Structure 1
């Protein structure tokens, strides 16, 4: 994912204070040892290195200090799961095409695209731990994914045919940056697909619903009702209106 909306408190379980004299952990080594491969709900074709209560992610935070952000990459999120399911069910969406997974996190969308026959898959994220997890996840699923440590929303898109966006509309300012970047993608002739569980900051006036899936989002209580996550195509702003955000339409 891109920059987290609410950084953890300094005295919380993901403390950013670096332990004196502590050597930096190798993210891949830590993830391989402490985050076991687990199946993904709705995606039996894919397994991810997934955190559990005994994974000890707090150790990464204590050792790496400011280098460790919120570990969004350690869990599957509903929007990415829905978009990955859509791609696997409709491989023609990506087959023979170049695909970018923006704010890739665990890489679930990138992995699905590679499995479905994309000729090139790039996964971009601002978190080096995300890219470490993503590389391991790609290896575990037998696919090749190129990784890029960068916030692409500040510039022009790379030369790809399709961009997948899972779970990036969770904060207003981030949603505006992502929407502006996706407009530049459209101007370059790049198709854009979005997976999201109907969060408040989706640019709803720009979206066309393609599919919906019943899938719980990470962080929901175990006894909560299963939510719905949707896949949308992103289209041009034909009326020139400012972005409009709001609750899900009935």
Structure 2
């Protein structure tokens, strides 16, 4: 048996905290009866409804994808563009991406049907590190590196300090290859950070998420995470609080 709010979160309906609010508001029914007690435990055979809609309880699954460019980080797209879930046609569970990578950004992306797990990894307080390799147009000097490391001012506020390493540069072409590590997840954040110091990102790839790397995966390849990797990710997120 599991706590009701945990089952709701794992179904991807809401975070556990939001699920608790829904229960207390009387929005949740178990076997046709409204339940407001947060300590309520349920089994897989119980019928659970949230706002009148029955939730589908699935076994949690966890995947890694090497997202190619030109693919959206969504379950589906109204414009008919390829979505990250299209790379898992044999997966019956309703998986969704944990966070997102921009349409023009490639690299490591995690997918799951476990809402609680996704919320744990995405919560800002857990500061999960993401490592990107950026090809930029413009000279990256020491001052610009220091600015990125300290945090730069964007329209939605100052970014947290980043780790920055220049991997190579071509002063004649005014291009550079830079490794940057951040733990925030703002929209197009890495691109906007470089723009803030006068450089334009022409190519961007996420190389690492927490301790996970792409390994031998090629663009469009995916694999299931091992139980040990899932356990490590949970511990990793909890340890960074």
Larger helix proportion of the pair: 1
Larger strand proportion of the pair: 2
Q: Normalising by structure 2, what TM-score?
A: 0.23
Relative contact order: is structure 1 or structure 2 higher (C-alpha 8 Å, sep ≥ 6)?
2
Structure (1 or 2) with the larger CA radius of gyration? 2
Q: Normalising by structure 1, what TM-score?
A: 0.22
